[in-house]
Amino acid sequence: MNSTARIATIFRREFAAYFTSPLAGIFLVIYLFMSAVLTFQMGGLYERGQADLRPFFQVQPWLDLFLVPALSMRLWAEDRRTGTIELLLTLPFSVRDLVLGKFLAAWAFACVALALTAPLWITVAWLGSPDHGTILVGYIASALMAGAFLAIGAFLSAFTKNQVIAFVLSGVACFLLMVIGFPMLLDFVSGWLPRTAVEAIAAMSVMTHFESMMRGVLDGRDVLYFVSVTAAFLFLNGIVVEWKKAE
């Protein structure tokens, strides 16, 4: 069995696990309900008089901040709590296979949830003539951001057997990665840091790159940012699993 087949095996096991527990239904209902409420009520989709999904994409980082850690918290913490991690590590799967298989399953589930918001896109198209290219790039940005948050959550989940602790740590880490790019914080540090340092801090923020893509600009630098964050934390995830394996 080659590496791709092993990753696919782990992927199928993990992806199916979401639908054999109440987690899938609860997550999807909450995510879709909150997306609709925040888009139509707080975002004022009708009142804005513009045929676009900007209000929907504006709330995605905040929804992901709470809901993505709920997906990632069980990736390793649950296996460590139940002891199935020892069984998995005795099977002919490398740590790399396990890390990628688990992550891809969680990301696929998050993308399924995102795809289920398509009726919002259909509604906007019915109400007017939106820029479909901008909306598509917004969905791509949302999927990439969810992947980055999941990689961070998976990395932190590997440290503990307690899913609540994993959830809190992931939420805090993702929140910090968001707020470092807020104008208020950048204005504060710009008074005593050189401009290049301020720009470097802004470039580390999820919001800087997400908002750029939300405007419909598919810049390779923004895509590279999300891919790099995801890859870096998956690499660190593998190191932590190897470390815990040796304990």
pLDDT band at 140 (very low <50, low <70, confident <90, very high): very high
Q: What is the pLDDT of residue 50?
A: 64
∠ CA 12-166-56, nearest 5°, is: 75
Ranges of H-type helices in 47-131: 54-72, 74-82, 84-90, 95-115, 118-127
Q: Are 127 and 51 in contact (CB under 8 A)?
A: yes
Q: What is the pLDDT of residue 184?
A: 73
Distance CA 32, CA 54 (A): 16
Residue 143: closest CA among 113, 165, 171: 113
Distance CA 50, CA 129 (A): 9
pLDDT in tens, 19-39: 887 777 888 888 888 888 887
pLDDT in tens, 208-237: 888 888 887 788 889 999 999 999 999 999
Residue 124: closest CA among 144, 138, 111: 138
- Residue 165 above 80 pLDDT? yes
Residue 174: closest CA among 204, 201, 152: 152
CA dihedral 12, 15, 16, 17 (to 10 degrees): 120
Distance CA 34, CA 38 (A): 6
A 10 A CB-CB count for 41 gives 12
The one-letter code for the residue type at 216 is G
In the chain, what's the furthest Cα-to-Cα distance?
A: 59
Q: What is the mean pLDDT of residues 151-155?
A: 93
- Whether the predicted model's global pTM rises above the 0.85 cut: yes
151 contacts: CB under 8 Å, gap ≥ 6: 103, 229, 230, 231, 232, 233, 234, 237
